[in-house]
């Protein structure tokens, strides 16, 4: 078995951004992990961003029993920390099919802006 790396990148502008980026899977396999790197800034208090890695091109943040979600990450910005960065490894075990798309969806409140890079490791075979 071989492992392939996919990259998703998108800049968040403080609103809902569905299918901000996507990667199309080249061979059937399993997502074994994701490295998430995000930098953010907000000019107002009480801003937040929800980041979703999903098999669906529209966010499922407020849905129960959503079948497309793979992983989510949320951060909150208050007046004492208006800028920041998140770097996180998320171990996963999610089957993917050849030709399937994996989407980066964002949902933000307030005036938060961000850069978002997600690297997926897919074990093929």
Residue-wise pLDDT for 46-79, tens only, equals 888 899 999 999 988 777 877 889 998 888 877 6
Record the tokens describing residue 87, joined without a space. Answer: 């770097």
pTM to 2 decimal places: 0.91
**Extents of the domains making up the chain:** 2-124
Which residues are within 8 A (CB) of 74 and not within 5 positions of it... i.e. 6 or more apart?
48, 49, 50, 51
Contact 124, 29 (CB under 8 A): yes
- Indicate the burial class of 81 (C-beta count within 10 angstroms; 0-12, 13-18, 19 or more): exposed
Contact 110, 48 (CB under 8 A): yes
Residue-wise pLDDT for 80-109, tens only, equals 667 888 899 999 999 999 999 999 999 988
Please name the fold of domain 2-124.
Answer: Jelly Rolls (2.60.120)
């Amino acid at each position: 078995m071989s492992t392939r790396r996919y990259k998703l990148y998108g800049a968040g502008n403080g609103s809902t951004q569905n299918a901000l980026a996507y990667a199309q899977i080249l061979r059937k396999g399993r997502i074994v992990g994701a490295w998430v790197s995000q930098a953010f800034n907000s000019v107002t208090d009480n801003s937040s961003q929800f980041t979703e890695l999903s098999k669906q091109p529209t966010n499922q943040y407020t849905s129960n029993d959503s079948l497309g979600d793979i992983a989510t990450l949320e951060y909150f910005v208050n007046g004492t920390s208006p800028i920041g960065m998140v770097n996180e490894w998320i171990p996963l075990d999610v089957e993917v099919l050849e030709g399937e798309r994996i989407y980066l969806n964002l949902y933000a409140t307030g005036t938060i802006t961000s850069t978002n890079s997600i690297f997926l490791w897919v074990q093929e075979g």
